[in-house]
């Protein structure tokens, strides 16, 4: 009896040391990858962080599965024959490994096809938006604007809108009152574009020769009767994806200020003017107001 107790203690001790060795292996591999990317810069930082995140996930899963198999091998005779002949693989698949395999394959394809990187701002399935905080073999973690951390399995991802694929086009639509002269409005918006290009010079997308690819400009009139409110004008500009939100905020501020400085009325003013004109007409006709 003492012999079997010692044997069990020996097995438990060996399993414990196997777990420690696996943990140390994961720690060392992740540390080496981290140091390697710190000292090299042959790929951009976002891709380095993505690769490091995937390596951490892979080594963690591999070490965990390895320790579990080692522990089973300590208590099952001819463990290799057991795996081959006992139908363990079929049992695992039968109890739900399909979803695991689906998540693993989906995660691999997400990285291989370069659909996203760590730090990208994305929208998943037209529902969830946020910055990619971690990419794993089974899950990705997204930090939403509110601060909540969303974890979604890779197999559940059907559609991704990525706002960080080298370039983004800022598109601003401005609906102006019908009472404004279109030629004057276009001139004022062109003046606003000049100011935007000056302020956002560091945000604009550059080509290989360090020339601006597409500066902010007036695209033109994109709707004559936008939502029955007024005439819609559109301004566009191509910016570096890293500065998309910053460039958009600055552009909107400059457009609003420029329109205000030149007394250009927006569509909301048109609704107010129509109500005031109708009320004045009823008063002149001595018709009581509603």
Model pLDDT for residues 115-132, shown as the tens digit of each residue? 787 788 888 888 888 888
Query: Where is pLDDT greater, at 141 or 275?
Result: 141
Local confidence band at 81 (pLDDT 50, 70, 90 cut-offs): low
CA separation for the pair 142, 58 (Å, rounded):
19
Secondary structure class of 106 (helix, strand, coil): helix
- For the stretch 188-227, pLDDT in tens is 999 999 999 999 888 898 887 888 888 999 999 999 888 7
156: CB partners within 8 A, 6+ apart: 125
């Amino acid at each position: 009896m003492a012999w079997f107790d010692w044997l069990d203690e020996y097995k438990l001790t060996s399993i414990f040391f196997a777990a420690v060795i696996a943990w140390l292996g994961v720690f060392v591999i992740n540390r080496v990858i981290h140091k390697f990317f710190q000292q090299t810069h042959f790929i951009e930082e976002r891709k380095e962080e993505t690769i490091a995140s995937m390596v951490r996930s892979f080594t963690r899963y591999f070490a965990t599965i390895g320790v579990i198999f080692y522990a089973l091998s300590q208590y099952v005779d001819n463990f290799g024959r057991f795996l081959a002949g006992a139908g363990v693989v079929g049992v695992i698949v039968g109890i739900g490994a399909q979803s695991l395999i689906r998540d693993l394959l989906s995660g691999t394809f997400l990285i291989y096809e370069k659909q996203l990187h760590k730090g990208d701002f994305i929208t998943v399935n037209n529902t969830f938006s946020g910055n990619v905080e971690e990419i794993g073999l089974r899950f990705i973690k997204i930090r939403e604007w509110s601060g909540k951390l969303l974890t979604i399995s890779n197999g559940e991802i059907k559609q991704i809108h990525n706002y960080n694929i080298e370039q983004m086009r800022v598109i601003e639509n401005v609906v102006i009152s019908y009472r404004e002269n279109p030629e004057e409005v276009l001139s004022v918006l062109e003046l606003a574009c000049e100011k935007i290009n000056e302020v956002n010079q560091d945000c604009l997308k550059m080509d290989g020769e360090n020339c601006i690819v597409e500066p902010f400009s007036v695209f033109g009139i994109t709707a004559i009767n936008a939502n029955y409110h007024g005439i819609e004008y559109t301004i566009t500009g191509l910016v570096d994806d890293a500065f998309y939100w910053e460039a958009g905020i600055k552009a909107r501020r400059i457009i609003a200020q420029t329109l205000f400085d030149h007394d250009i009325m927006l569509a909301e003013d048109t609704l107010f003017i129509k109500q005031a004109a109708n009320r004045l007409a009823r008063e002149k006709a001595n018709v009581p107001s509603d």
